[in-house]
Structure 1
Amino acid sequence: MKNESQIFGIRAVIEAINSGKTIDKLFIQKGLTGELSKELMDLLKKGNISFSYVPIEKLNRLTRKNHQGVVAHIAPIAFHNLENLTLKVIESGETPLFLILDQLSDVRNFGAIIRTAECTGVHGIIIQKKGGAPVSADTVKTSAGAIFKIPICKVDHIKDAMFYLQASGIQIVAATEKASCPIYDIDLTPPTAIVMGSEGKGISNSVLKITDHMAKLPMYGEIASLNVSVACGVFLYESIRQRL
């Protein structure tokens, strides 16, 4: 598998972390033992770097090389700290507009959303460390380079990020077909963070429960839903329309 962002082998991953590389995804074989693997685990704990235990079959699908039970993907960007970014935006005097992606899985949708977000002046995109689409070469390409121009924050838990934003005076608006009112009835002129869900399941119920508003797009055709990147574009441009 040809992937310029992929590295494999325990020592290679250790050296990448020590050199300051941002690890986007890290897969470790279940039951991995040995002094070198212990050194890696200590390093991950010290750096608060998330990873997933997987069976060896998954690692073999990722690469045919001698991976030693460890495969990682290096992110092409450095991620931002949510608290620092939020304070910076508030102190700038601009009205905050954030985008929260709840378990979005398709890298091309991710890239398209990043591109639209940059075009609409979004101050930052928030994703979860586990379960979401990686920041891959496909993401960069689909974003048309916008990924290098907009801050992206990786957080341990989406809900904790939402609580922090709400405590900072930023309302949370969920884009969901479960809503009773259309997006056009929601006031998006205050500081706002818009939540978009995954392609298959939408926004998780636990996330929906703590949002301030839920909004939907009117649908008149036989197909009951839009592509998430298209729906995101409509929501973002409605926020711009209201703020002009």
Structure 2
Amino acid sequence: MAWDDSKSRYSKNKNDKTDRREKDYIDENIIQGRNAIIEAIKSGKTIESILIAKGEREGNINVIYALAKEKDIVIKEVDKRKLDALCGQGSHQGVVAKTTPYSYCELEDILKVAEEKGEDPFIIILDEIEDPHNMGSIIRSAEIFGAHGIVIPKRRNVGVTPSVYKSSVGAVEYIKIAKVTNVNSAIDNLKSKGIWVYGCHMEGSVSSDKVNLNGPVALVVGNEGKGISRLTKEKCDVLVKIPMAGKINSLNASVAAGIMMYEVLKSRLK
């Protein structure tokens, strides 16, 4: 069995999930949501312009105005309907930033980050994560728990979309993400460099509270419904399960990933 997500978050129309993901892929140069935009400005990301709904002046919108003025970023006041059209779901909180497209890195760039910090590599490998909210949450957890980077496949995995950016609360700007043609080849590459690969799986042979996660580590997190694919599972050195005491026998993919990342951090702090 795999860590599963409830499909109830999507509407009853079976095509809605695909339509929403396609909308996300189209608008990768858009950031929506106040906190995400504030973090993007602070991080120095190239922002072409910021669109703010007319009349929006409450709360941290004023912070965005101040930061944009400080960085000489153009602000345009527009009708809220224009923001709705750009974002689709109307979850922009009255502000949208137009940016340069997200710049993915190479796998070697992630390893270089660990080397420069004098730390053992700590890498997250995502095997076909489809939900933007899961992706954003995983990125946020990875940054918080000290991962050096995230590896995703070029196909069948959500990229850095507006929803992902917003869900990560700007953490996207502080962690490297590499897109690879083949996840299994990337795993072979990491293993050749002495990095141990742990697959997060409900039927793992070792419990997360018993496994030794010291040293160079890569964590593999599988698809929300199917889990880790068969070939990728076979590439893992160890399959690790999370102990559970409740009646429900599955965890949301991003929650499971967060628990496993915390276990890595805890091992490194001992």
TM-score, normalised to structure 2's length?
0.62
Candidates 97, 113, 119, aligned match of 1:94: 119
Question: What is the count of residue pairs matched by the alignment?
Answer: 179
List aligned pairs for 1:173-192, cutoff 5 A: 173-192=198-217
Quick one: higher RCO (CA 8 Å, sep 6+), 1 or 2?
Answer: 2
Which deviates more, 92-101 or 150-159?
A: 92-101
* Compared CA separation, residues 173 and 4, structure 1 to 2 (3 A): closer
Asked if 1:209 is matched to 2:264, the reply is: no
The alignment partner of 2:235 has SS state of coil
Tell me if structure 1 keeps the 8 A contact 2:104–2:179.
yes
Stretches of structure 1 lacking an aligned partner (at least 5 in a row): 8-73
Deviation at 1:120, TM superposition (A): 0.7
Across the aligned residues of Structure 1 and Structure 2, the Cα RMSD in angstroms comes to: 2.2
Deviation at 1:4, TM superposition (A): 8.8
* Compared CA separation, residues 193 and 75, structure 1 to 2 (3 A): farther
Asked if 1:160 is matched to 2:185, the reply is: yes
Stretches of structure 2 lacking an aligned partner (at least 5 in a row): 1-18, 28-98
The alignment partner of 1:209 has SS state of helix
Q: Match of 2:225?
A: 200
Deviation at 1:76, TM superposition (A): 3.8
Q: Match of 1:6?
A: 26
Tell me if structure 2 keeps the 8 A contact 1:76–1:135.
no
Give the letter aligned to residue 158 of structure 1: V
Give the fraction of aligned pairs with identical amino acids, expressed as a percent. 37
Q: Match of 1:222?
A: 247
Asked if 1:237 is matched to 2:257, the reply is: no
Q: Match of 1:110?
A: 135
Tell me if structure 1 keeps the 8 A contact 2:127–2:223.
yes
CA distance in 2, matches of 1:6, 1:125: 22
